Structure 1
Amino acid sequence: MLPTLASVVALPRLGLRPLTGAALDVPVRWVAVSELPDPTPFLEGGELVLTTGMRLAVPGECAPYVERLAACGVAGLGFGVGLGHAEVPPELVAAAEGRGLPLLEVPRPTPFVAIGEAVSRKLAAARYEDVTRAFQAQQELVRAALRGSEALVSRLARELRGWALLLGPDGEPRHAVPPSAEEERLAEVVAELPRLRGGAASLALPGPIVVQQIGLGRPRGYLAVGTGRPLTPFAHTVVGAAVSLLTLGSETPRGDTRLRAALGAMLLGREVVEPPDPLRVLLCGERATEGLENDPLWERCLAVPHPDGCALIVSEPLVDQVIALVEPYGPVGVGDPARFADVPRSLAEAERARPVSGVRRYAELPVRGLLGLLDGPDAAEMAERLLAPLDEVLRASLLAYLEAGGQGDPAARALGVHRHTLRHRMRKISQLLDRDLEDAGSRAELWIALTLTRRGVF
């Protein structure tokens, strides 16, 4: 949950003073400092805009300025006094009051950067809280899943403080929480299921309602949830975990008891007894399971939904046989052998190895051999020292920028941020690292450093 403007105003060290009667319970997603007469082309909404009013000295400028900010959906406006203006212009106060825009007086001793740091800390705390809540919720879902799908759906509705419907492959109701959800929501959801059967990964219906398919390949069922308000990132994470558990329950083979026992022990936080053979992850197309469902090998694999298709966890002795069955249904990337705890590494390798067509193993990638020469504690320590000035946000931004070949627009789209935001981050990275990001050598060095510091690359 984002911090509110009220929580920022409540920080005594900032000394912010509200000047309008507008409600302060609006969420703040970032702080933007601008002296432009129209900063809205560089805003996305939800920002606390800070200014000293350098461009607001001419009478009649305040009302259009406030109108532009309010129309953009900013969280509020902070006006620094003691520089260009001894006090906040009464015209600006009147315009903000009339438009319902929160207006804060920022005293001269309070630097704008202190406000930005305070909001950044609150955003980090909120993200940590969301991650912690999501982790705890997923643990509860795992415990509920061990008692069956109905217990899992009931727990999901409780975590979301909403309703949930579990449907069969033909849309028949299997479980509703609360029971009234079947009568109130079933017809609406079932009427839209043909859209999911047509290939959509999920549906968003008015309400708002989210409907997702359970199962790989042909649907094993559907899950519909609603909370009466837009789903938060926390809610999407929890719903995704529930769908994965329901899919795992519907698709998990019955034959390889040792692999399933190890998985169950891991979910319960118990000591994992390693399966006798190493495991590999195969990243296949969505229809790959069609080649396995009628084969005895199906009972000895674990199939998990993946954004790019289907990930298969396979015992090492069975890899070649499984590849032969799934290859006709699309390209296959094959990770290196891994023990149970290192299966995520094998998945990352399969993702990197997956070709446009055919089959490719991670060990066959040419770049692996070159980078493998650097795979050691000394290289990793040097890479970490190089990147030490960058936080996680800047590292992710740098990686997206490098993977986009230094092109700002595709990198910004991949990160989900405005291109000007990414441009600002690139300038900051260049300054912190003292590197010219236009230089090919610098880019190569930074890409190698990022690769070395990301777990599971080799």
Structure 2
Amino acid sequence: MPPTLGALLRTPRLRLRLLTGEERLDRRVGWVAVSELTDPTPYLAGGELVLTTGVRWTDSVPDHRDYVRRLADRRVAGLGFGVGVVLEETPRPLREAAAEFGVPLVEVARETPFIAVGKEVSRLLAKEEYEGLTRAFAAQRELTRAALAGAPSIIDRLARDLHAWVLLLGGDGAVTHAAPAAARRHADVVAAELPRLRQAGVRASASVETGGQRVSVQPLATGRRARGYLAVGAGGPLGSDERTLVNAAVSLLSLELERGGRGPSVHAGEGVVVALLAGALDPLHEGAAPLREALPSEPVVVGVGAAAGAGHPPAGVLVAEHEGRALLLAEAATPGAVIRDVLDGPIGVSGPSGYADLDTALAEAERARAAALEGEGGVVRVGDLPGGLLGMAETPVGARMAKDLLRPLSDQRTGAELLASLRAYLASAGRWDAAAEALGVHRHTLRYRMTRIRDLLPGDLDDPDYRAELWIALRVRGVE
């Protein structure tokens, strides 16, 4: 949630003074908008703290009542007036209008730059986001721990963390667990949505209302078949942290249904594999032995393909389709023939990895697949590609970035000459004589070219980070 107006007023260094709206200090401030327009509302989204000095206000122009009414209609968080710039005090008509329309009015001292207020809101937003992520990860850990006791424990924990009611339904729509038990009375409303969900497919979800509450219904999918459904009812829309927790529960429940059915040698639900690769599921948790039993043994490899193939994954292989591609998680010893059978190409495969490094393995698989797309297709393993940081840059994406970085030089009539000069200069660590000798030109000629290069490039050649980027770009472009 964004910071409140009250939190800003309690920041001493800002020297903010509340003039009206004491009963509205709990209003959330989504951003700070500085505007001297007589009508800034076309440029506001709602929830902003609007700051102005009234620089365009003259004795004959401002209609304070109309100005504040527009802000109230846009549902701003508040209005801040900077004194000591144009006016020495906040105009009384502005105070009266703010009180009439319920817009909190804050006086900003001359010593407080508006940018300081904006920075404080940005800091509080970042702090709130960090705390939200911390809460979300802690809740996910507890949810994973609950999974060790089975699906009912997941449902109970989810209901407790969301302060909502939760239903777990089987593939036939029958309620298998409810938290709290009274949530079963919503089962008929949820069951009425299931035929539409079945028709829409396992990636669809539904949202309905019952008893003044919003209910989200999601399938628990194993491959292309829903083995159950999760329904969550709350008094209002779920926040991003809460939605993340629901997605983690979907992943855990999908895995639980998979283990309780045909075991791990089937297509995993999309949420399971994606949650593993995103770090939402932690199979290395201190008590997560049952979770690990359903997963491929370490070391594992990650694969990325165009789509899931027709072949049935053997034991030790999990496959899911996600965002127009297929993801594979398999034991490192899995033969290439098996990977080609369960994924459609072009296919990229990472090197052996532990569960703690799945994010790196996914990046490796993406890089290998990019090489497969550029080449003849088939299966490309990351071990077959050039190594090191330079190897990671030698991908289609890296080539495009290199081209963009060097474009100011290559677009010139003498582009080849400038690129060669830059490469020689960087290769010789800026030693003029050595670089000029390598090019076969006089050092004054090289100095002239380097002056032009400095003028054309947007970055600073004395910055080691920028020089490193240029060097890698030159290597990727194959400039000699």
With normalisation by structure 1, the TM-score equals: 0.72
Shift of 1:359: 4.6
**Which residue does 2:205 correspond to in 1?**
202
Secondary structure of the corresponding residue to residue 347 of structure 1: helix
**8 Å Cα contact 2:348/2:382 also seen in 1:** no
Secondary structure of the corresponding residue to residue 226 of structure 1: strand
Alignment of 1:185-264 (within 5 A): 185-197=186-198, 198-199=200-201, 200-206=203-209, 207-215=213-221, 216-251=223-258, 253-254=263-264
Distance across 1 between alignment mates of 2:388 and 2:455: 23
The question of 1:322 aligning with 2:338 is answered yes
**Which residue does 1:279 correspond to in 2?**
300
Q: Which moved more, 1:89-98 or 1:225-234?
A: 89-98
Provide the aligned length of Structure 1 versus Structure 2.
Answer: 382
Pick closer, same or farther for the CA change 1:354–1:42 going to 2, 3 Å. Answer: farther
Shift of 1:180: 1.5
Distance across 2 between alignment mates of 1:73 and 1:85: 26
**Which residue does 1:373 correspond to in 2?**
390
Alignment of 1:158-173 (within 5 A): 158-173=160-175
Q: Which residue identity does 1:291 align to in structure 2? A: G
Give per-residue Cα distances to partners, 1:405-429, cap 9 Å, x unaligned. Answer: 99xxxxxxxxxxxxxxxxxxxxxxx
Q: Which moved more, 1:336-345 or 1:22-31?
A: 336-345
Q: Which residue identity does 1:134 align to in structure 2? A: A
1:339 pairs, out of 322, 346, 354, with 354
The question of 1:23 aligning with 2:39 is answered no
Pick closer, same or farther for the CA change 1:270–1:441 going to 2, 3 Å. Answer: farther
**8 Å Cα contact 1:56/1:62 also seen in 2:** no
Shift of 1:196: 2.8
Pick closer, same or farther for the CA change 1:316–1:2 going to 2, 3 Å. Answer: same
Distance across 2 between alignment mates of 1:305 and 1:214: 14
1:301 pairs, out of 317, 322, 330, with 317
List alignment gaps of at least 5 residues for structure 2. Answer: 267-275, 406-453, 473-480
**8 Å Cα contact 1:279/1:314 also seen in 2:** yes
**8 Å Cα contact 1:285/1:308 also seen in 2:** yes
Secondary structure of the corresponding residue to residue 234 of structure 1: helix
Q: Which residue identity does 2:300 align to in structure 1? A: L
Distance across 1 between alignment mates of 2:340 and 2:10: 63
Q: Which moved more, 1:25-34 or 1:347-356?
A: 347-356
**Which residue does 2:420 correspond to in 1?**
none
Secondary structure of the corresponding residue to residue 314 of structure 1: strand
Secondary structure of the corresponding residue to residue 19 of structure 1: strand
Distance across 1 between alignment mates of 2:151 and 2:247: 15
Secondary structure of the corresponding residue to residue 39 of structure 2: coil
**8 Å Cα contact 1:167/1:174 also seen in 2:** yes
Pick closer, same or farther for the CA change 1:352–1:73 going to 2, 3 Å. Answer: farther
Distance across 2 between alignment mates of 1:230 and 1:436: 53
Q: Percent identity?
A: 44
Shift of 1:72: 2.6
Shift of 1:371: 7.2
The question of 1:145 aligning with 2:166 is answered no
Pick closer, same or farther for the CA change 1:186–1:37 going to 2, 3 Å. Answer: same
**Which residue does 1:413 correspond to in 2?**
none
**Which residue does 2:421 correspond to in 1?**
none
Q: Which moved more, 1:28-37 or 1:187-196?
A: 187-196
**8 Å Cα contact 1:52/1:79 also seen in 2:** yes
Distance across 2 between alignment mates of 1:62 and 1:133: 43
1:268 pairs, out of 286, 289, 296, with 286
Distance across 2 between alignment mates of 1:130 and 1:74: 24
Q: Which moved more, 1:124-133 or 1:50-59?
A: 50-59
Pick closer, same or farther for the CA change 1:192–1:286 going to 2, 3 Å. Answer: farther
Secondary structure of the corresponding residue to residue 238 of structure 2: coil
Shift of 1:148: 0.1
**Which residue does 2:11 correspond to in 1?**
11
Q: Which residue identity does 2:358 align to in structure 1? A: V
Shift of 1:277: 6.4
Q: Which residue identity does 1:20 align to in structure 2? A: T
Distance across 2 between alignment mates of 1:70 and 1:340: 52
Pick closer, same or farther for the CA change 1:300–1:375 going to 2, 3 Å. Answer: closer
Secondary structure of the corresponding residue to residue 373 of structure 1: helix
Q: Which residue identity does 1:245 align to in structure 2? A: L
Shift of 1:333: 4.0
Shift of 1:331: 5.9
**8 Å Cα contact 1:282/1:332 also seen in 2:** yes
Shift of 1:122: 1.6
Shift of 1:166: 0.7
The question of 1:135 aligning with 2:141 is answered no
The question of 1:52 aligning with 2:69 is answered no
**8 Å Cα contact 1:217/1:286 also seen in 2:** no
Give per-residue Cα distances to partners, 1:141-174, cap 9 Å, x unaligned. Answer: 0110000001101100000011101111222211
Pick closer, same or farther for the CA change 1:276–1:68 going to 2, 3 Å. Answer: closer
Shift of 1:36: 2.3
List alignment gaps of at least 5 residues for structure 1. Answer: 377-398, 407-434, 453-458
**8 Å Cα contact 1:49/1:74 also seen in 2:** yes
**Which residue does 1:363 correspond to in 2?**
382
Secondary structure of the corresponding residue to residue 302 of structure 1: strand
Shift of 1:134: 0.7
Shift of 1:223: 0.8
Distance across 2 between alignment mates of 1:126 and 1:269: 30
Pick closer, same or farther for the CA change 1:220–1:277 going to 2, 3 Å. Answer: same
